[in-house]
Structures are given as C-alpha cells and as structure tokens.
C-alpha cells in the first residue's frame, strides 16, 4: 500500500506521521513549503506540483487542470492512498475519481459542524463548549464524506483561536496517524476503508 501525503505548509502533521512511523511512499506539495523540507530530511521522495504554473492564487487558477495533473503525477508513482495534511488546494472530481474513496483528510472540528478554513474561529464565535478533530474520507464537497474517527476537545473560558487550535492539533497528531495506519492495514487485507470507522469506536 503506497501512501502519498499532501502538504502545503509547516509539515507538523507530516512530522507526526513520520514519528509514528507511518509508511510514506511520497510527499507532494502545491507550493514550496517547509513540509517538503521535513520530508527530504526524513529521506522521503518528494514532488512539487506548484499551483503557480496554473494561475497561482489568482481568480483564473486552473483548478481542473491542476487536479488532473496532480492525480497523474501520483498515479505515475503507483500511489494507492492519499492523506491530506494541511493541503491548501481544493481539488476537483478529477482527483477524487483517480483515487475513489481513498483520499483522507483531517479537519479541526467535530464535523459536520464548522466546515471550511476557519473552523476554530467559528467554534469560538458560536460559544461552543467543545470542538475537536475529525478524520474522514474526503470528497468533492468540502469537509464532507464518511467520518472515520473523531476526538473531542473542550473549549476553555480563556481560549483564543491560537491556543484552542494548538490543543486540537495535539489530538490530531495522535489520531490521524492511527487512522491512516489502520486504513492501510485494512486495504492491505482487502477490507473496505469504512471498516476502520468501526475499529476506531473502540480506541
């Protein structure tokens, strides 16, 4: 089972996967970032599919062509499973169709609550007493798809966005490697990804 981790930023989730350790075949990024440096130091193969060549962050960013080329790059390296780890580009159906049911993501809320890029701030603004993190199968719909595991994090009275997000990340750095490891084992054994959700209920 060949896993690709997609990164865009500091690579702290990737570091947690490496420390686990999770078997990683490839690390891919959509922009130059520290995550690629983390991968290189760990001796992992890396590839940069830079969105700068597709319009960057302008309104005319060619999301469809980027998604197709990213999928082709990963398939050329025989990737079986994809794990988004702070990946900042929303990909289209072309990418998900290349890896049906095999794209994982972690999100800093208890989905379906607080979808999108500002989940932690939304949780604070809503007055929620708890939030957390969710590992799920990614789909074309943002922060949707079958949930594999969730862990709760209490919201404290003195929390700001940075403090709360860091506590969520602490949980995420344990949960995500565990789920990915179990998904890889399930697929190696010919089982469905959904079986991992049942396993994680008892962990």
Nearest to 16 by CA among 181, 201, 184, 203: 181
Tokens representing 190? Answer: 């010919």
* Crossing angle between the packed helical segments 34-41 and 12-19, to the nearest 10 degrees: 20
Q: Looking at the chain, how many residues does it have?
A: 203
Q: What share of the chain is helix, strand, coil (3-state, %, to 5)?
A: 40, 20, 40
Q: Which of 96, 107, 136, 165 is catalytic?
A: 107
Alpha carbon distances (Å) from 126 to 138, 152, 165, 169, 191:
25, 16, 15, 20, 39
Whether 118 is a known active-site residue: answer: no
Q: Are 99 and 70 in contact (CB under 8 A)?
A: no
Q: How far apart are CA 107 and CA 128, in angstroms?
A: 17
Q: How far apart are CA 81 and CA 40, in angstroms?
A: 20
Residues known to be catalytic = 107
């Amino acid at each position: 089972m060949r896993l690709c981790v997609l990164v865009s930023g500091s690579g702290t989730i990737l570091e947690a996967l490496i420390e686990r350790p999770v078997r990683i075949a490839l690390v891919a990024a959509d922009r130059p970032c520290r995550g690629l440096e983390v991968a290189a130091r760990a001796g992992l193969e890396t590839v940069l599919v830079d969105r700068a060549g597709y319009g960057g962050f302008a309104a005319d960013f060619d999301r469809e062509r980027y998604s197709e080329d990213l999928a082709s790059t990963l398939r050329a390296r025989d990737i079986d499973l994809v794990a988004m780890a702070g990946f900042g580009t929303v990909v289209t159906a072309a990418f998900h169709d290349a890896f049906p049911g095999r794209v994982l993501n972690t999100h800093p809320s208890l989905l379906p609550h607080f979808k999108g890029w500002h989940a932690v701030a939304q949780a604070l603004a809503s007055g929620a007493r708890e939030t957390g993190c969710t590992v799920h199968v990614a789909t074309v719909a943002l922060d949707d798809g079958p949930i594999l595991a969730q862990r709760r994090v209490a919201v404290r009275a003195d929390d700001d966005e940075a403090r709360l997000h860091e506590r969520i990340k602490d949980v995420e750095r344990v949960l995500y490697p565990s789920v990915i490891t179990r998904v890889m084992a399930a697929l190696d054994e010919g089982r469905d990804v959904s079986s991992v959700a049942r396993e994680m209920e008892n962990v």
